[in-house]
Structure 1
């Protein structure tokens, strides 16, 4: 082509060739006798001057919009929003966890037992993931009713990935606090406090609390926790409406990593859904120690003030 009557003509021709005739930028450059770099600049100019107007006919998926807003509003590194289906929540959680393990080397993963975290189990069982790097899995808290309690998936993840498993094979709540000074327990807690990423559940305080329903704490103890203005717990560490740690009579008897460790973990992911979890989640996010959230559409909307 010998020339163009004006710059706008050139922009229009380049835009038409690229978007309508589906030429590559290199083909346009050869056809018009200009460089590929100039073609790229002309296409950018065509958009900025309104010669090209791109219209997407479908709205962004709701879950994607919610994930973006959760990250922006609360400064999260990870945000995953699933449909209101516990099986899909477990699937999405497992996929996020396995993606992290595959991409980070070496990798130390810490897990807390909870009904929500355990929803990942069906999506980890019978998996055989070949890692090219070492990985280790740690219990962040003592067992509930034995090493392989129904809410713990640490051993399942370790088997699925061929990772080393470092258990905390003691009750989460002990009668004699001195047990935490035993060398093996002390070492396991220290190593657990140095994980790269943690996946934990979140408990509420009150009649809907899993701790109360499973009789891990008594009704009287729960009432005492409410009087101390506790609104939620992670790894049996309690916090108030501002996400600040609350000292409780249970602290000395609890076998789990402490608040200093929780706040040092680079990526601390909470898996939680449901109306009763909204208040503790808001508090935890306000506290600033949650860096990842896996939840469902209803809970995400509630956190963002968009629930109907």
Structure 2
């Protein structure tokens, strides 16, 4: 009888072991033993409901194989890029709700897949939201980078630090002048304080990267020649995950630096699709990301390439 009472108070009522010990007139250690006995003897049965559309086993396998902290692998309908992005967006939105705390300073990047989060983002714990890349114009999407950050901030209800400047400019002197603007510098000063960030992964090929789309032909060609296959927050990477720094892009970009991104304790990347496999692999190898939200097809291709 005591075992059942202790188990009921602990699992159903949420009572602490100390409170149960006082109620039953026994030690807290005895309560802990009764709870263990209840589980072992079948008095308590614990069931974990599978999460719809998430492959838990494959998620774990990908995380272990890749050496990242965790992965969320989403089952999607192969062949529909828009549907894949929508499902990735929903999964990433759920992950944010489950992990963000009120003390967090959240960095938000940009990309087609991150754009999908906006449609599914519920109310978040009150936190600070910081835009970590400059603006990227896109005629394809109804939400630009500033609007995406505004939506995150609206859901979080906390302070917001936007970047009202382009991501890439042609002249390094212009970039330096923009960084010196008080409003811009206030946002840049938040980068070392970030506790979390959510980023996309661009594949360095036509149509695969919003950063590449904003560069001149000469700049894209220079990065191609330097071996770029991916970008994370306008940080170009080669296939081994090494930084590609010889082209001057960093001097012309207004965004978080590789060193600042690497210092963020928890960086979640959201990206999927067969054409993104090499880019995702490069991002993982770079050590810039800690967690990945991706599709089942992408996960299997990454595992096959491991």
C-alpha distance after superposition, 1:195-250 (max 9, x if no partner) = 1111111111123433377x411333222211101111011111111211110222
SS in 2 for 1:68: helix
SS in 2 for 1:116: helix
CA contact (8 A) 1:140 1:192 kept: yes
The whole-number CA distance in structure 1 between the counterparts of 2:120 and 2:65 is 30
Alignment equivalent of 2:69, drawn from 60, 77, 102: 77
The whole-number CA distance in structure 2 between the counterparts of 1:223 and 1:67 is 36
The whole-number CA distance in structure 1 between the counterparts of 2:36 and 2:123 is 45
C-alpha distance after superposition, 1:106-154 (max 9, x if no partner) = 1111100110001011112xx445x4xx5110000111239x9724321
TM-score by length of 1: 0.74
Distance 1:69 1:223, change over 3 A: same
Partner of 2:304: 305
Distance 1:149 1:165, change over 3 A: farther
CA contact (8 A) 1:142 1:171 kept: yes
**Does residue 112 of structure 1 match 2:105?**
no
Alignment equivalent of 1:163, drawn from 153, 158, 173: 158
How far 1:40 moved relative to its partner? 6.2
Distance 1:197 1:149, change over 3 A: farther
Partner of 1:275: 274
C-alpha distance after superposition, 1:3-32 (max 9, x if no partner) = xxxxxxxxxxxxxxxxxxxx99659xxxxx
> What is the aligned-residue RMSD (CA, Å)?
3.4
How far 1:288 moved relative to its partner? 2.0
1:87-106 equivalences under 5 Å are: 87-101=86-100, 104-106=101-103
How far 1:80 moved relative to its partner? 1.1
SS in 2 for 1:70: helix
Distance 1:105 1:160, change over 3 A: closer
Gaps of 5+ in 2: 6-29, 42-49, 77-83
CA contact (8 A) 2:111 2:210 kept: no
SS in 2 for 1:187: helix
**Does residue 173 of structure 1 match 2:172?**
no
Partner of 1:233: 231
C-alpha distance after superposition, 1:240-293 (max 9, x if no partner) = 112111102222110001010010000111110111210011112122221010
The whole-number CA distance in structure 1 between the counterparts of 2:211 and 2:109 is 18
Partner of 1:195: 194
The whole-number CA distance in structure 2 between the counterparts of 1:271 and 1:229 is 23
Partner of 1:122: 119
SS in 2 for 1:105: coil
How far 1:39 moved relative to its partner? 11
How far 1:96 moved relative to its partner? 0.7
Gaps of 5+ in 1: 1-22, 28-34, 47-58
The whole-number CA distance in structure 2 between the counterparts of 1:76 and 1:229 is 24
Partner of 1:246: 244
The whole-number CA distance in structure 2 between the counterparts of 1:89 and 1:164 is 26
CA contact (8 A) 2:202 2:232 kept: yes
SS in 1 for 2:112: coil
The whole-number CA distance in structure 2 between the counterparts of 1:108 and 1:88 is 25
Distance 1:262 1:111, change over 3 A: same
How far 1:73 moved relative to its partner? 2.0
How far 1:75 moved relative to its partner? 3.1
The size of the alignment, in residue pairs, is 260
Partner of 1:294: 293
1:55-66 equivalences under 5 Å are: 63-66=55-58
